[in-house]
């Protein structure tokens, strides 16, 4: 039976790289002044990130749409491969509005895949129960296939919701969805990483109180230079590490020498974050 050791460090903590961005990655090239690139540019970037960072990560998250076979070949056996099985409803240049299960991705999983990941857009709207049911189906689908489930809820205001408070929604989503018992819960950083250390720790402790089982943080929405402090605060209050992409490589998008930048600035960030989780994260076995 596959356990979280498949995507964890020897310490029982997680230092995982996300490279499953799709149209959002194309938009990142555009905002970096490189225009909207063809698919082969996205694939080459994903392969470069996999080849340079995956050997130093405990897990590596990839998508099926862009160059999966090449990315998979770049991920060593020592790094757990995580496959995104979320079908995204996303306009060009816009945020993901909703998700479903990618049935094709589930139909023929390569043996190398250790875990599946589902992004779930969480709203207080009339489809709330439907999304909870989707999360439950995802967890069961992973279990049936003998692989791990990584659930990633991202909270959004419902249409017309004027009193939306992101951290309260993050807590509510965690109470509702972690109770479904995914193998690992991927949470947004409290306060988007803002505030002093004491505030971050208090917010992380409050989030930990909402969790059932081990959890990690993602980096979207957090200023890159604040992510390490946010990870440390979360780990000190019960988190088991991180699964992050933008905090590691977003400023490498569009660089003239992508691999050189990955080997220096991105690798330095990943190594520093791995030290943080080894020192401060709660091992998944104790969650």
Query: Given this model, what pLDDT does residue 91 score?
Result: 74
**242, 231 contact by CB (below 8 A):** yes
* Distance separating alpha carbons of residues 148 and 77, to the nearest angstrom: 16
* Distance separating alpha carbons of residues 194 and 230, to the nearest angstrom: 8
pTM of the model: 0.97
Catalytic residue among 72, 186, 246, 269: 186
Q: For residue 86, give both structure tokens.
A: 């979320």
Kindly list the structural domains of the chain, giving each domain's residue range(s) and its CATH number in brackets, ordered by start: 4-286 (3.20.20.70)
- Kindly give the interhelix angle for 166-177 and 128-144, rounded to the nearest 10 degrees: 50
Q: Is 151 exposed, middle or buried (0-12, 13-18, 19+ CB in 10 A)?
A: buried
Q: Residue 93: which pLDDT band, with cuts at 50, 70 and 90?
A: low
Closest CA to 12 of 252, 255, 285, 196: 285
Alpha helices per DSSP H over the chain: 23-29, 39-53, 68-74, 103-107, 128-144, 166-177, 197-208, 227-236, 246-249, 258-261, 267-280
* Distance separating alpha carbons of residues 192 and 172, to the nearest angstrom: 16
Query: Given this model, what pLDDT does residue 23 score?
Result: 92
**287, 214 contact by CB (below 8 A):** yes
Q: Residue 95: which pLDDT band, with cuts at 50, 70 and 90?
A: confident
Closest CA to 173 of 158, 187, 190, 189: 187
Q: For residue 28, give both structure tokens.
A: 């990142």
Q: Which residues contact 116 (CB under 8 A, 6 or more apart)?
A: 82, 83, 84, 85, 106, 109, 138, 141, 142, 145, 147, 148, 149, 150
**239, 208 contact by CB (below 8 A):** yes
Query: Given this model, what pLDDT does residue 196 score?
Result: 95
Q: For residue 221, give both structure tokens.
A: 């929405």
Phi/psi for 19 (5° steps) reads -140, 40
Q: Which residues pair with 210 in a beta bridge?
A: none
CA distances from 115 to 12, 33, 149, 215 (A): 16, 35, 6, 15
Q: What is the pLDDT of residues 104-158, one digit of tens each?
A: 999 889 999 999 999 999 999 999 999 999 999 999 999 999 999 999 999 999 9
Closest CA to 249 of 226, 273, 224, 223: 224
* Distance separating alpha carbons of residues 57 and 103, to the nearest angstrom: 28
Taking the mean position of all CA atoms in its chain, how far away is CA 194?
Answer: 19
* Distance separating alpha carbons of residues 34 and 25, to the nearest angstrom: 12
If DSSP codes are grouped into helix, strand and coil, which group holds residue 129?
Answer: helix
Q: What is the dihedral of CA 118, 32, 228, 90, to 10 degrees?
A: -20
Active site residue 186: yes
User: Taking residues 264-270, what's their average pLDDT?
Assistant: 97
Q: What is the pLDDT of residues 148-195, one digit of tens each?
A: 999 999 999 999 999 999 999 999 999 999 999 999 999 999 999 999
């Amino acid at each position: 039976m596959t356990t979280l050791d498949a995507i964890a460090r020897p310490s029982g903590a997680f230092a995982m790289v996300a490279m499953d961005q799709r149209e959002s990655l194309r938009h990142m090239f555009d905002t970096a002044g490189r225009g909207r690139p063809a698919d082969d540019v996205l694939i080459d970037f994903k392969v470069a990130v996999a080849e340079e960072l995956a050997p130093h990560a405990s897990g590596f998250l990839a998508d099926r749409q862009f160059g999966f076979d090449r990315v998979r070949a770049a991920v060593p056996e020592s790094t757990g491969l995580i496959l995104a099985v979320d079908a995204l409803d996303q306009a060009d240049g816009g945020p993901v509005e909703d998700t479903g299960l990618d049935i094709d991705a589930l139909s023929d999983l390569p043996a190398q895949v250790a875990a599946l990941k589902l992004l779930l857009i969480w709203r207080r709207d009339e489809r709330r129960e439907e999304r909870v049911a989707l999360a439950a189906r995802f967890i069961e689908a992973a279990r049936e296939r003998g692989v791990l489930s990584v659930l990633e809820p991202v909270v959004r205001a419902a249409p017309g919701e004027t009193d939306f408070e992101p951290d309260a929604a993050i807590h509510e989503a965690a109470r509702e969805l972690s109770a479904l018992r995914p193998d690992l819960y991927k949470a947004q950083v409290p306060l988007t990483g803002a505030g002093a250390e004491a505030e971050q720790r208090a917010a992380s402790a409050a989030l930990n109180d909402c969790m059932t089982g081990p959890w990690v943080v993602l980096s979207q929405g957090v200023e890159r230079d604040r992510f390490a402090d946010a990870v440390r605060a979360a780990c000190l209050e019960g988190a088991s590490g991180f699964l992050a992409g933008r905090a590691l490589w977003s400023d490498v998008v569009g660089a003239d020498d992508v691999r050189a930048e990955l080997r220096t600035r991105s690798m330095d960030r990943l190594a520093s974050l791995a030290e943080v989780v080894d020192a401060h994260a709660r091992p998944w076995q104790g969650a």
